Structure formats: C-alpha cells, structure tokens
Chains A and B, each alone.
Chain A
Amino acid sequence: MSASWLLRRLALILYTVFIVSVLVFGITQALPADAAVTLLGENATTEALNAIRERLGLGDPIWWQYLRWVGHAATGDFGLSMRTGQPVGPEMLTALGRSLLLAVAAILVMLVIAVPLGMVAAVRQGKLADMATGLISYLGVSFPEFVTATLLAMLLADTLQWLPATGYVSPLEDFGGAVRHLALPVLTASLILVAHVARMVRSETLDVLHSDYIRAARLKGLPERTVLVRHALRNALLPVVTIVALDVGYLLGGIIVIEEIFAIPGIGRQLMVAVTARDLPSIQAGALIMSATYAVANTLADVAYAVLDKRIRYD
C-alpha cells in the first residue's frame, strides 16, 4: 500500500463527505420548516422573525449559506442547537463516541462468537454441530433487534436481575458500571451480526479446506490443529473483513433502535431527537458525522485486507 494510494483514499473520503454535505444541506433547505419560525414559535412577530433571519443570515443566497456552514463545520463548529442552545458539534461528537464504543464492542463480541462457530460448522460439515449453528444463525437473523432486545432484557434484567435494563455510564467514570450497562445492547447488536458472519466464515472455511494448499499442508504431516489455525483460518477470514466493514454501516443505522430501547444517548438517538424537534443544525451535523465515520471505516477495512493478504497491493 503506497502513500499515494492512502492520499487518494483520503481524497475519496473528503469527496464522499462533500457530496453528503450538499445533500444534507439541500434536504434541510427543502424542508417546509422555516428556521426562524421553528426557533421563535408560531406566534412570533414579523419584526422578531426578520431580526433573527438577519442574524442567522437566512436572507443570503443559498450557495453563500452553504459555504458559510461548510466553512464553520470544517472547524468543528456546526452552530448552536435550536433545542438546547448548546454547540451542536461537541454534543454530536460525544454521542458518536458512545455509539462507536457500542459498535466496536458489538463487533468484537460478534467476532469472538461467530468465527469459532463458523469454523466448527465447517469442520463438522453435515454433522450435528453444523446443523445446530445453522439453526442458531437463522434464528438470529429472523428476529428483529427490538424483539431480541426485549427478550434479552426480560430474561437478564427483569427475571434474573443480572444487568441493568437501561441507561449509559461512561467507562471513564465507572468502568464496571459501563460494562454492565453496555452488556445488553452489545449482546443484542452482536447477536444479529453473528448469524450472517458465522455463515460467511463457514462457507469460506469450506472453500479453503478444499484448496490444494490445505491438502498439501495435511500431506506434509502438519497436525490438523496447525492446518486449521495457521493455514485455513487466515484465508477464511479475509472476506469477513469486508463484511464487517459493511456491518459498521448497519450498526450506525440499526443501532438507533437499540439505543432507543436501552436509552443510550448515542448518535442515533440524538439524531432521532433532532429530527423530532426539527433541530436543523443537529440533523446536519449528525448526518455528516455518520457518513464520514462510514467512509473511514471502509477505508480501514481495505487497509486491513491488504495487511492480511499480501497478494493485494494498492498502488
């Protein structure tokens, strides 16, 4: 992977974010809501409305308003929330941090469950263990996250009283508390993903196990465990990296439901609140930050791919 490739990928990320920024700005402009009316309420006087339009620059040409917004956004200034009056940027970034914590934890937990599950299913193809993992996988994808979440909460929080049902604690303040509060949402998010990643690992492992180099590894006398772990696992995991990158996109979107159920103030939930309150600066900031995160995650996946498979060269 060359420096010029990385630079081009960075440019691509910026380009993506630019397109999204135009779309986001355009959509918020097209909304029937008048920012001034939203701010001051239906009963505001015309003078007051005009004054605030003047102050917010709402009378300026659209392209000038866009440039001003983008220019400020580039420095992290997304304006003030129409709902709380607080700066939107820091608020959204804090929320993003919480969501990322949830997403990364969910992906790690998912990998720890799904990879061994898929490997075992492949090695015992057609046997009981294979069918059992297949069944679990299909059950996993069949349940929408709100059902899984509710069932898990009923069992682990309500009946057994092991875990708190809702809320968020920062891991910097109380690590143990944070883990306990995150356990249910992380489990819910990862269970959805386990299903298809385990299937993917299974089919990839089957492919790899039928390859000539695995046969060669066996016939040169390597113990089966070495063949599986050293020779099969790495090659079977390669395509999974791509899937995981796509899952980041799912998590950023799908996590809204989970955040809502477990009352976690992540970026999904903040965005929901912003939409409900017609809080334009928050909507713009949230959408832009999410798309940038997605673009970065995909680039990281491509880098990981090149690190794992030396045949892939980006130049």
Chain B
Amino acid sequence: MTAVLSLRDYTLDYLTGSRPLRVLQDISLDIAPGEVLGLVGESGSGKSTLAWAIMRHLPKNARELSGSIRLGDTDLRGLPPRELTRIRGRRIGMVFQDPSTALNPTLTVGRQVTETLVNNRGLTRRAAWDLALELLGHVELRDPDALMRRYPHEISGGEKQRILIATAFGCRPELIVFDEPTTALDVITGARILDLFARLRAETGVAALYISHDLALVSRVADRVAVMKKGRLVEEAPAASIFARPAHEETRKLVAAVPRPENRLVHDRPGDRVLLAAEAVSVRYARPRLFRPPPPPATHAVGFDIRAGEILGIVGESGSGKSSIARALTGLADFSGGIRFDGRPIGSARDMDGAYRRAVQIVFQHPDGSLNPRQTVGEILSRPLKLFGTGPANLSGEIGRLLEQVRLPAAYATRWPHQLSGGEKQRVAIARAFAAKPSLVICDEITAPLDVSVQASIIELLLALRAETGAAYLFITHDINLIRQIAHRIAVMRRGELVDLLPIDAVDADHVHPYTRDLMAASPTPVG
C-alpha cells in the first residue's frame, strides 16, 4: 500500500542574518493510510516547521535544499500556488494550536464553516449549511443552529476547537495535520477533544500527523511516534513501546521529563503553623451598575489555609477562578472576605503593608510580560533588593548570589530579558520573588509555557529553593500529574468555588467531589 504522505531526505534552512540556520536535516518519514503518526520534540526541534513545509506555507526566508514531499502521487514541492490552493483543505486539512486565533473575529462561525465546505466540497451554500449542522451535531455540540449564528468570541475555546476539527474532517481529506490541538485548552476540555479526535479518526480512517510536545498525550492517540531533536528525526517507534523501551537519549529524556503522579518529589510534611488563612474570599471584577444586576463573582467565598513550608496546589479548568485567588492574595484584585497572615487580619488590599508584600511574592505565567524588556537582569533584581533593605554596597554581590541561587551565572546580571531563553527568564522571575526572602510564593501557571524538560528543571529548582529557605508555595496549575508529584494538598476549583481540599494521598479516594474525579481521570497518564 502506498503512503498517504511521504518525505524523503528533506532538508531546510532558514536564512537568518549572516549564515543559514539548518532547521530540518534529512527528514524521511511515511504515513500509511489511516495511520496516526505522533511527532514529539522540544520547542525549536523543528516539528512545527515540518508541518509548515508539508502545508507548503513556509516563511520567505526558508530555503529548501533537497528532498521530496509527496502526498499520494502528487509531488507537493513542485506544485504552483494555484494547484496548492486546490490541495489545501481538500486533500490535507490542518487543525491549529489555538482555536481562538484561528477563527476570523468578524465573521460568524457558520459563515466560516460553510465557506470551507462550499469551497472544498463544491456544495451550494444551503447544502453546506445543512452539512455543517450535521457535522457539528456529530461532534456533540448542542444546538448547532444557534452556535453557527454566533461570532467566535461568543463561544468557548473547546467549542471552537470542536467546530474546527469537525470542519477539517468534513472536507474528507486524505491527511490532517494537528498542531498541538489541545495545548491551548484546559485539561478536561483537552481530554474531550482527544476522545473526539480518536472517535472521528476511527470512523473516517483519515491519516493524521499529530504534533505535540507532550509525549504522554501523543502516545495515547498515535499508532507510531517520531521523536525530533535539532531538526533531525532521532527515533521512530510504535506508540505502544516507545515509553517502555526508549532507544535514543532524546526520547529517554522526554520520557523521564513526563511528570508521573506516583513519582513523588516531595517527601517531607509541613509544620502545623498556619501561615496564611483565606476566609470566604470573593473576587468581583466589574463594578455593579445602576439598573443592571452585578456580574457573578470570579471566585465565591473561597476559604483555605496554607501552613508554613507547605506546597498547596490549586487546580481547575480555565475560568475556574484560580488566578483570581492569586490576584486577591497579592492585592492585585479587590476582594471581600478576609485573609489572616501569621495571625494578623487583613481585610483588604489597603491592609497589605510592606511586611505582608515582602512575605508574599508572586511569579507569573509569562516571564515575557512580567520582566521589563528595557531593564537588564541586574536592574530587575536590584529593585526588590533595594526595597527590602540591601544597601548599595552589597547590591551587586546580592544580585550575583540570587542568580547563582536560581542556577544562573552571575554574569547574567548585564543581560537583557530578550537574550534569555524561556526557562532562563522564568528563573529570573523566580529570583526576583526570592529577593524579598518571602515566606509564601504564589506560582501562577509558571511552567505552562515551557517544555516538559525545562519544566522539570524549574520544578527541581523550586524544590531546592524551598529546602534552602523554607518558603511555602501556592502552586496554581492545570497539570494534574505535575501537581501530584509535589503538592502536600490539592485545592480543586470549579466555576469560582472551591469544591475539594484534599491531602495528596486522598485525591483518588471514593469520597471526592465528582468534578475532582473527572479532573483526575482527564489528565493523560503515561502509557507503557
């Protein structure tokens, strides 16, 4: 049987500045009809570039040096633009990472689905509308007719991704390229999308290239898994065996970096002293208006406590109010209810004095947004140091000490944020938080934008810092496997309310909230 997609010795350079950068080197792979090939690798390994090369949508500075890309009998590299337009959508579909940006904000969802069907299936608008209704119904979307009349911002991310997947399958292509289709979604929504993918694939027999940095996730949906490193395919193996017997060092690294809940990284128990207690904390963003009912609060009467040195995980789907709690505790959002810190009552953001602000620090999800691009690393770190009493004489020494504490060379003090990698930037953000010698550090999805291997090293760093300083962590995340490795207790949030607050060994118990059970079941467990 001939392959649906076949690459032979494909090599690609990007022209950057003075000399070309090799992005893909001698890539050869085949996808058989009906097969799902998973493609994994760290960011920068070239997996997305490979997808763009297959879709024939390369940036202007790309230079293809050699090799062939064939779709069935068609040589894609040799096709003129007009012919390519006829292949895209009809013979190769694509589903993107972020469904929110893949839809045009000013056209209704129905218009965008039907235009694709009209264009690729040669249907009339009416027939396309009817088919769209059927397709959306088939992917378990309620009231497709109403959904299709809405604009993208009026429906959820999960619904958008369902619609995009339904449309891609509805065009009946030979191959669909999936570029991290669940990364932008929360765990439960992502798990449902994954189930949907598996079902549609089984029904249609369409071949797929499934790109992800998450090895656990890929091994669940793919027949075979290919591992990329620095532009090369280093290993290709059946999905069933790649976890059990990783042959290449890169694969072993990826396997080792996958967080496994049974592999606990924290073995101590926190003390009994309550460091911070939140009592019925509600956060409400919009102010109530005349003639208009107030909007529902982002969090509703949430209460919990954190003990000195404890790691408390907060999990829940997007929009559940996790980050609002972080904003309330740091005084970034107005709240009602009360906080007790070290026995001291704090009724509002105004009560948060220097001592509180020093003791409670936060690290944000995106270091790009939280590090000032016009300040060097040294300047960024000097601010909290000066604020909390380091004299000018000791300043550079303290900066160097902080950098070494987060395992960065002291010479990094003169660097700018844009000269650092994502993981290094997050280390600087962590160093800034620890400059104040805090007793509680709030980590708001701090590893979400990072690769699994970088994530593992950041977690290792956080645990080492905790051992040195005794700081407690409030660790907000949607990665259940990760939090089960490190947290002492887990708080589960849903729609602004705290539904469960469990010791870590009780999360699989029978008495947990049904939502907690769903959440635990939805996180991909490593197979093999």
Residues of A bordering B, CB below 8 Å? 4, 211-213, 215-224, 226, 230-231, 234-235, 238, 308-311
Contacts and interface: CB of A to CB of B under 8 A. Distances in A.
B136 to A, nearest CB: 16
Given A220-B93, A222-B116, A213 B88 contact: no
B504 interface: no
Contact of A221 (B96, B98, B103, B120): B120
15 contacts: A211-B101, A213-B104, A220-B88, A220-B171, A221-B90, A221-B116, A222-B85, A222-B119, A226-B115, A230-B115, A234-B106, A308-B106, A310-B106, A311-B106, A311-B151
B22 interface: no
Given A212-B96, A215-B57, A220 B104 contact: no
B220 to A, nearest CB: 26
Contacts of A219: 55, 57, 88-89, 94
A311 B105 contact: yes
A310 B104 contact: no
A211 B104 CA distance: 9
B88 A216 contact: no
A212 B94 CA distance: 13
B89 A213 contact: no
A221 B86 contact: yes
A211 B153 CA distance: 16
Nearest to A313: B153
A221 B153 contact: no
Contacts of A223: 85, 119
B107 interface: yes
Nearest to A237: B106
A212 B98 contact: yes
B132 to A, nearest CB: 14
B105 A309 contact: yes
A213 B94 contact: no
A211 B96 CA distance: 13
Nearest to B55: A219
B102 interface: yes
Nearest to B173: A221
Contacts of B89: 219-222
Contacts of A309: 105-106
Interface in B403-440: none
Nearest to A208: B104
B101 A213 contact: yes
Given A221-B87, A311-B151, A235 B116 contact: no
A222 B116 CA distance: 7
Given A212-B98, A215-B57, A311-B153, A221 B88 contact: yes
Contacts of A231: 104, 107
Interface string B378-415: 00000000000000000000000000000000000000
A82 to B, nearest CB: 47
Interface in B89-133: 89-90, 93-94, 96, 98, 101-107, 115-116, 119-120
A234 B151 CA distance: 14
B116 A213 contact: no
Given A213-B101, A234-B106, 19 more contacts: A4-B291, A212-B98, A213-B102, A213-B103, A219-B88, A220-B94, A220-B167, A221-B89, A221-B171, A222-B85, A222-B116, A222-B119, A226-B115, A230-B115, A231-B104, A310-B106, A311-B105, A311-B106, A311-B153
A311 B153 CA distance: 7
Nearest to A222: B119
A221 B98 CA distance: 19
Interface residues of B, number: 30
Contacts of A218: 57, 88
A218 to B, nearest CB: 7
Interface in B317-365: none
A217 B101 CA distance: 11
Given A220-B120, A221-B119, A235 B55 contact: no
Contacts of A213: 101-105
Most chain B beta-carbon contacts within 10 A, residue among A221, A308, A310: A221
Nearest to A212: B101
A309 to B, nearest CB: 6
A231 B116 CA distance: 13
A238 B104 CA distance: 13
B107 A216 contact: no
Most chain B beta-carbon contacts within 10 A, residue among A216, A223, A230: A216
Nearest to A223: B85
Most chain A beta-carbon contacts within 10 A, residue among B55, B81, B107: B107
Contacts of A226: 115, 119
A239 to B, nearest CB: 13
A229 to B, nearest CB: 12
A235 B106 CA distance: 7
Contacts of B151: 310-311
A212 B179 CA distance: 13
8 tightest CB-CB pairs across the interface, nearest first? A221-B89, A212-B101, A221-B88, A216-B102, A220-B89, A310-B151, A213-B104, A219-B94
A224 B217 CA distance: 35
A230 B105 CA distance: 12
Given A221-B85, A221-B120, A222-B119, A216 B57 contact: no
A238 B153 CA distance: 17
Nearest to A233: B106
Contacts of B94: 216, 219-220
Nearest to B167: A220
A105 to B, nearest CB: 28
B104 A217 contact: yes
A211 B57 CA distance: 14
B155 to A, nearest CB: 12
A194 B106 CA distance: 25
A310 B89 CA distance: 27
A303 B239 CA distance: 55
A35 B268 CA distance: 92
A121 B521 CA distance: 53
A4 B292 CA distance: 11
Contacts of B153: 310-311
Most chain A beta-carbon contacts within 10 A, residue among B85, B94, B96, B167: B85
Interface in B176-200: none
A298 B96 CA distance: 39
A219 B81 CA distance: 12
Most chain A beta-carbon contacts within 10 A, residue among B96, B106, B291: B106
Contacts of A235: 104-106
Contacts of B115: 222, 226, 230
A311 B152 CA distance: 9
Contacts of A234: 106-107
A93 to B, nearest CB: 37
Contacts of A220: 88-89, 93-94, 116, 119-120, 167-168, 171
B161 to A, nearest CB: 12
A219 B84 CA distance: 9
A216 B105 contact: no
Given A311-B105, A311-B151, A216 B90 contact: no
Contacts of B116: 220-222
A22 to B, nearest CB: 28
A216 B103 contact: yes
Contacts of A221: 85-90, 116, 119-120, 171
A209 to B, nearest CB: 12
A256 to B, nearest CB: 37
A230 B101 contact: no
Contacts of B101: 211-213
Nearest to A215: B57
A178 B87 CA distance: 54
